[in-house]
Structure 1
């Protein structure tokens, strides 16, 4: 299951200034990353694909790193996800994510 880790720069401010909103965000996080039907690893692989398809380098890197550290996701698993990104989103997002993947798994 996903622990309470948020990468948004403003989340620490939300936590201190609006605890009620922060609590709602934590609840949403728990509802999404619950592993009820899809296991957490599959959910993380989907998150990698979405971040990569959006060509969001920062999010792609964070998703891949956390998946590798938390779930021992392999380079081959990430590459399978990136093949879907190539097919659905094109060469540019694929190449960007591939460079990130190569850097992380060096």
Structure 2
């Protein structure tokens, strides 16, 4: 799964190589990103919160942290809103991803 933001900032560590060595594949991923983040029904802020929850549920620390930072900077998402997302992670994915998400949130809020 490629974790990305609407503005073509991709969180997957291999994306720099894809962009450099496989520009056709990179452009296809950019097009998919644009098709997914349309804001037609769910606004981009809501989609960002969903993406954060998916990354947290997958225990992807790097992507979860980047999603949290981005959501706070771009949309002013609050700590309590992120905790609400993590509550759903707890319910659907269990204690380990939840506690990892809470740890990441603590680190993000300290900065």
The alignment's TM-score, normalised by the length of structure 1, stands at 0.92
Structure 1 CA distance for aligned equivalents of residues 66 and 74 of structure 2: 12
- For 2:37, the equivalent position in structure 1 comes to 33
Q: CA deviation at 1:79?
A: 0.5
Alignment partner of 2:64 out of 39, 60, 64: 60
- For 1:2, the equivalent position in structure 2 comes to 6
The answer to which of 81-90 and 10-19 deviates more is: 10-19
Structure 1 CA distance for aligned equivalents of residues 15 and 89 of structure 2: 29
Q: CA deviation at 1:86?
A: 0.9
- For 1:103, the equivalent position in structure 2 comes to 107
Structure 1: stretches of 5+ with no match in the other structure: none
- For 1:13, the equivalent position in structure 2 comes to 17
The alignment's TM-score, normalised by the length of structure 2, stands at 0.88
How many residues in Structure 1 have an aligned counterpart in Structure 2?
106
Task: Note the aligned Cα RMSD (angstroms).
Answer: 1.3
